[in-house]
Amino acid sequence: MYVYMHKTVLDNDLRDMLTRYAEQYETASFIVGDPSWWMHQVEGDLNREATAFVASVLSYGSRSQFMPKIGWILERAKGDVDSWLRKGDYESDFMAGCGKSFYRLYSYDRMHGFFDAYRKLLETNGSLGCYVMKNAHDGLSAVEALCEYFSRCGVSVVVPKDATSACKRVCMFLRWMVRSGSPVDLGLWKDIVDRRTLIMPMDTHVVSQAMRLGLLQSRCASMNAARRLTDVMAEVFPEDPLRGDFALFGYGVMGEKEC
């Protein structure tokens, strides 16, 4: 069950608005231009899982810059990122020791280290989902388990070193994997993590929207703040708090015109 950290009383108009935006924006059209688009372009559950995780770690900065980088990896992998990783085919595309930038802070060498760590995880556990199932019992511990593993492998720039920060990209990836019955999210891990325990993916844009609505009082994008915002969304969507992610997206698109 979802455990509340904080309780916020929302008025009915705000509840109705969030519900309306969630219904309006959690549609297949949301995927267009979103990094979740890539996992819908490949076949096979393991391949979708691997594609989604690789897409998530690259999803920061400008979409116009990181979307082509994700596409380039899928092209090199011939649409099968899972096999590309397991066979070590990434080694010819991301040379160890190459300091040239692949995307922003990620050099080819750093990406090589990330793929090495991911490959070892697959060899040891079978899949990322199996690793999470062995090492986590809810949304927060799933974030912690993923951060801890990659930090231990020395690639904490690509994946956050711990769950002190909001870990937006990890939380977004977990939303993709866990939530079922959605035209956007895959639900491959619906039996591994309870969707009621997922944590809102939070970045500075989400913080700004939440503050405009009075849902948060601080601009700090920390894990504690992400959990506070999740608590608020759980009051509106008790069985599925991360519907609130789509609600805030909708507010960002349209809500300010109504306020």
The separation between the first and the last C-alpha atoms of the chain, rounded to the nearest angstrom, is: 34
SS3 at position 222: strand
Shared domain check, 63 and 28:
no
Shared domain check, 136 and 166:
yes
C-beta separation of 46 from 39 below 8 A: no
pLDDT band at 61 (very low <50, low <70, confident <90, very high): very high
**Whole-number percent of the chain with pLDDT over 70:** 95
For 40, other C-beta atoms within 10 Å of its C-beta total 15
CA dist list (Å): 70 to 9, 64, 181, 220: 41, 11, 26, 29
pLDDT tens track for 152-193: 999 989 999 999 999 999 999 999 999 999 999 999 999 999
Beta bridge mates, 101 = 107
Mean per-residue pLDDT for 249-254? 87
Residues with Cβ within 8 Å of residue 178, at least 6 apart in sequence: 139, 185, 187, 189, 190, 192, 193, 194, 195, 198
pLDDT band at 255 (very low <50, low <70, confident <90, very high): low
Q: Please tell me the distance from the alpha carbon of residue 176 to that of residue 129, in angstroms, as a whole number.
A: 12
Residue 259 scores a pLDDT above 70 = no
Shared domain check, 185 and 97:
yes
* Total domains, the chain: 2
Shared domain check, 221 and 159:
no
> What pTM does this model have?
0.94
Shared domain check, 128 and 23:
no
Comparing CA positions, the residue from 80, 242, 82 lying closest to residue 176 is 242
pLDDT band at 3 (very low <50, low <70, confident <90, very high): very low
Shared domain check, 57 and 21:
no
CA dist list (Å): 109 to 81, 155, 199, 209: 18, 11, 31, 36
Helix (H) or strand (E) holding 73: helix 63-76
Shared domain check, 155 and 209:
no
Helix (H) or strand (E) holding 103: strand 101-103
In this prediction, residue 67 carries a pLDDT of: 98
- The distance from CA 214 to its chain's CA centroid, rounded to whole angstroms, is 24
Mean per-residue pLDDT for 51-58? 98
Mean per-residue pLDDT for 67-95? 98
Question: Could you identify the residue written with the tokens 């040891």?
Answer: 124
Shared domain check, 39 and 27:
no
**Where in the sequence is the domain holding 24, given as residue range(s)?**
1-32+200-259
Shared domain check, 217 and 117:
no
pLDDT tens track for 6-37: 555 688 999 999 999 999 999 999 999 999 99
Shared domain check, 124 and 155:
yes
Q: Which of 159, 179, 194 is where one domain is finished?
A: 194
Shared domain check, 163 and 58:
yes
C-beta separation of 224 from 232 below 8 A: no
Shared domain check, 93 and 43:
yes
pLDDT tens track for 190-209: 999 999 999 999 998 999 99
The dihedral sign for the CA sequence 145, 148, 151, 157: positive
DSSP 77-102: TTT-HHHHHHTTGGGGTS-TT--SEE
Comparing CA positions, the residue from 137, 185, 208 lying closest to residue 31 is 185
Phi-psi region of 165 (alpha: psi -120 to 50; beta: other; left: phi over 0): beta
Helix (H) or strand (E) holding 106: strand 106-107
In this prediction, residue 218 carries a pLDDT of: 84
Of 77-91, 119-133, 242-256, the least confident? 242-256
Residue 91 scores a pLDDT above 70 = yes
In this prediction, residue 2 carries a pLDDT of: 43
Q: Which of 194, 228, 244 is where one domain is finished?
A: 194
Max Cα separation, the chain?
57
